[in-house]
Structures are given as C-alpha cells and as structure tokens.
Chain A
Amino acid sequence: MKDLIRIKSLLSTEVEELLNQQVKKEAISSSIYLSMASWCNRNGFDYSSEYFFKQAEEERQHQLKFYKYILDMGGNAISPEVTGIKQEYNSFREVFEDALDQEISVTQSIKKIYARCLNEQDYITNEFLNWFLKEQREEEYKARRALELFEVIGEEGTGHWEIDRHVGKIKYESDAN
C-alpha cells in the first residue's frame, strides 16, 4: 500500500497546524504594530510611528514566509482571521512594553514548533525555522532596547521627545549577529 499522505505532504498534521497557528500569530503581530504606529503618530511620536510601521511590514513578511513554506511542502495554508486588536494605550511606555511582550510570545511560539519538529525528526522544518530563531534575537533586542531608553533617558521634561528620536535609530549590529 502506497504511503499516500507522505507523497502529498512533507508536513505532519500537527506541524502543519502549528505552522498555521504561527501564520496567524505573525498576522496578529503585524496588526498590533500597525495599531501602535497609529497611536504613536496620533500622539506626536513620529519616529516611533515610523519604527512600528517598519515592524508591521517585517511581521507581514514573516507571515508570508510561513504561509509559502506550508504551501511549498504540500500543506494547506490558512489565511487567518485577525480581530480584537488593541487600539488605545495608556502611555508611551506601555506601547513598548506590549511590543516586547509580543516578541517574547512569538519567540516562545517558534520554540514550541521547533521542539515538535525535533520530536518528529522533521529536520527540514527545523532548518526553515533557524532563520526565524535568528530573527527573534534581533526583534527581542530591538524591543528590549526601546524599553531601556525609558530608563536611561528618563520620562521627565523632554524625555519622551528624546526617546522618540532614539527609537528611530535602534539597530542590531552586534558582533554576535
């Protein structure tokens, strides 16, 4: 008897489901960043707004990478439904706290898929995920650095204005990269 399921798809049902969940997670991330860009723009933080627009675009690219990988491997990529995105923030700082939380959540989620693939000996998907693991180093660094600016610059006086200017300059250029 032919192994029809394996002939049709490289991905197991479980990995395919996890990858589709990740597609949704990346889409949610992109929408959250877009909402943050809007909030920052409305409140006069133009550099931060631009930073979040770029982040939103990056997350969208991540979503498409997962989406196309599922299709390339013979799976069924599901276009996600994204609802309930937070639109209002209580403070400038809260925006960056939420951004870091979001990145940590994405890292954890990718680690979960990686562990499942290792368990199934799906080294091909593991290899695909390596790019994302490296990307999360940068994403978490940037989110953490933005939050750090609130500590080193301070929020008093023209603090917010200074923080906003510096957010636009955050780059990950470590020797570890």
Chain B
Amino acid sequence: MVTTLTPTSTHTWENVFSTASGAVYQCDAENCWYIDFVGKVAGFNYRCLQKLKKAIYHIDIEAKLLDTSKDPDVEIIFICACDHTYILTLLQVIALKELLQGTFVMLELNSILHDKLYRTAC
C-alpha cells in the first residue's frame, strides 16, 4: 500500500523524526507509522517497522563500500508479510538507516517522557 502525503482521512500525523532525505510520522488513530522516503509514503505497523529496522541494520555497509566487484550497487529490502519493498542504492540505505536510528531514539525518548510525565508522576 503506497499512500500519498496528504491523507484523505482526518487523522493527524505527528512528525517523529526527519532528515534531508526523508521523514517518519506517527498516526495515533491507526497505531502505525508512515515513512516518507525515496518518493513514496509507506505505512508500517509495529511488527513491520521492527522488521524493517532489523533488515536495514543488518546490512553491512562497510563491506558493501569496500566491495569492488561489478555487481550493481543496489539492495532489495523485502519484508515478509509487509506490503512494501524498497530497492535502494547504498547511499539510500545509509540515509534510511540514519532516518530509522533517529526515529527509534525519538520513540524511546517519547517512552521515557510518558513514564516520567504520566505513568510514574504523582
């Protein structure tokens, strides 16, 4: 499912993290995240986002950079039971990793804030 940046529903998207190459938004009403990257906006639920993170983090960027073979410099990110596939160059992989790293730091910070402000505040 590829969605456009202007959702037809009235659901609000909150920006979680953005870089020059993309952005991640959270939709509380749908309990999911939207990733705006390489010209498409794709929705991910919790499981799929975790799988995407694992797939991207497991790419050995250093080994790819040192690889002098004539193979195309392209990574196909296919996530099982998820509607989206990314076909990325190495630079795009680096950019997506940066985007996801920032996103997960922000989500962790959000969790800490929830703990401090609401759950354990008395």
List the interface of chain A (C-beta within 8 A of B): 1-9, 13, 76
- 11 chain-A/chain-B pairs, Cβ below 8 angstroms: A1-B16, A1-B26, A1-B28, A2-B28, A4-B26, A4-B32, A4-B33, A4-B46, A4-B107, A6-B111, A8-B46
Main secondary structure of the interface of A (DSSP, over half): helix
For A5, the chain B residues whose CB sits under 8 A away are: 46, 107-108, 111
Instruction: Determine if B31 is an interface residue (Cβ-Cβ < 8 Å).
Output: yes
Instruction: Determine if B3 is an interface residue (Cβ-Cβ < 8 Å).
Output: no
* Distance of A9 Cα from B47 Cα, bound (Å): 10
Number of interface residues of B (CB under 8 A): 15
- CB-CB contacts below 8 Å: B33-49 with A: 33, 46-47
Residue from A1, A7, A76 within 8 A of B14 (CB atoms): A1
For B114, the chain A residues whose CB sits under 8 A away are: 3, 6
With A1-B26, A3-B111, A5-B111 known, 5 other A-B pairs at CB within 8 A are: A3-B114, A4-B107, A5-B108, A8-B46, A9-B46
Closest chain B residue to A8 by CB distance? B46
Instruction: Determine if B110 is an interface residue (Cβ-Cβ < 8 Å).
Output: yes
For B4, the chain A residues whose CB sits under 8 A away are: none
- Give the shortest distance, in Å, between B100 (CB) and chain A (any CB): 12
Most B-side CB within 10 Å, residue of A2, A4, A8:
A4
For A7, the chain B residues whose CB sits under 8 A away are: 31
For A8, the chain B residues whose CB sits under 8 A away are: 46
Q: Are A1 and B110 in contact (CB under 8 A)?
A: yes
Instruction: Determine if B85 is an interface residue (Cβ-Cβ < 8 Å).
Output: no
5 tightest A-B CB contacts, nearest first: A3-B114, A8-B46, A2-B28, A1-B14, A3-B111
Instruction: Determine if B50 is an interface residue (Cβ-Cβ < 8 Å).
Output: yes
For B28, the chain A residues whose CB sits under 8 A away are: 1-2, 4
- Give the shortest distance, in Å, between A32 (CB) and chain B (any CB): 28
Bits for B102-117, please: 1 = Cβ < 8 Å to A, else 0: 0000011011001000
- Give the shortest distance, in Å, between B49 (CB) and chain A (any CB): 9
For A3, the chain B residues whose CB sits under 8 A away are: 107, 110-111, 114
